[in-house]
Amino acid sequence: MRVITGSARGRKLITLDGDDVRPTTDIVKEAMFSIIQFEIEGSKVLDLFGGCGQLAIEALSRGAENAVIVDSSKKSVEVIKKNLEATSFDKKAVVINSDAVAFLSRRTEKYDIALLDPPYSKGILEKALEKVPEVMNETGVIICEAPFADALPEKAGDFVLKKKYRYGKTGLFLYRIPEKEED
């Protein structure tokens, strides 16, 4: 696994071994960042279910101002910190060892981009989606990675499912607040 582009382009990232770990493939990661490419520069990023931190690191490499990376696994948090040091983004990111919903329940900071890539088919994504809008800027974007066949909610707070993208069995689900029409 590597950083695709930006200031840390080509840097290899480490990940945990095992069945519980499912890193985002390069194809899906490239697609995700192509979707939001003009929104990354200077943004505040929230990476829930951080895994090895690759999504936040990719955003930082492409010019995000900072990132908060949340994961409930202590082993994942250790790997994320190592990857941040290896890419020299350790000063631009905060890593938090917490359950995603518990983190969201006590957070007041606002984010521009939220990246959600939880363990598949465990109902965790739906619970997090209920809370994520509370920590988002109105012009923000929420991107979820899940099996394409999953029926994600059409709305998350004021955010509406605007588009679904398919990459084999994997789906990217894009939420935004609809623009208000002027009278």
Would you say 148 and 170 are in contact if contact means Cβ atoms under 8 Å apart? yes
The answer as to whether 154 is a domain residue is: yes
The answer as to whether 57 is a domain residue is: yes
The answer as to whether 93 is a domain residue is: yes
How far is residue 74's CA from residue 60's CA, in Å, rounded to a whole number?
A: 22
Number of domain units in the chain: 1
Q: What is the per-residue pLDDT for 182?
A: 46
How far is residue 58's CA from residue 161's CA, in Å, rounded to a whole number?
A: 23
Band (12; pLDDT cuts 50, 70, 90): confident
14-23, 140-149, 150-159, 168-177: least confidently modelled range: 14-23
Give the other-Cβ count within 10 Å of 145's Cβ.
26
Band (183; pLDDT cuts 50, 70, 90): very low
Q: What is the per-residue pLDDT for 11?
A: 83
The answer as to whether 8 is a domain residue is: no
The answer as to whether 21 is a domain residue is: no
Instruction: Give the pTM.
Output: 0.92
The answer as to whether 44 is a domain residue is: yes
The answer as to whether 43 is a domain residue is: yes
- Domain CATH code at residue 121: 3.40.50.150
Task: Render pLDDT for 24-61 as a digit per residue (tens, 0 to 9).
Answer: 778 888 999 999 999 999 999 999 999 999 999 999 99
The answer as to whether 39 is a domain residue is: yes
| Average pLDDT of the residues in 61-77 | 96
Give the other-Cβ count within 10 Å of 140's Cβ.
22
With a pLDDT cut of 90, the percent of the chain lying above it is: 75
How far is residue 89's CA from residue 101's CA, in Å, rounded to a whole number?
A: 25
| Average pLDDT of the residues in 122-134 | 92
3-12, 25-34, 104-113, 126-135: least confidently modelled range: 3-12
Q: What angle do CA 139, 142, 148 make, to 5 degrees?
A: 145
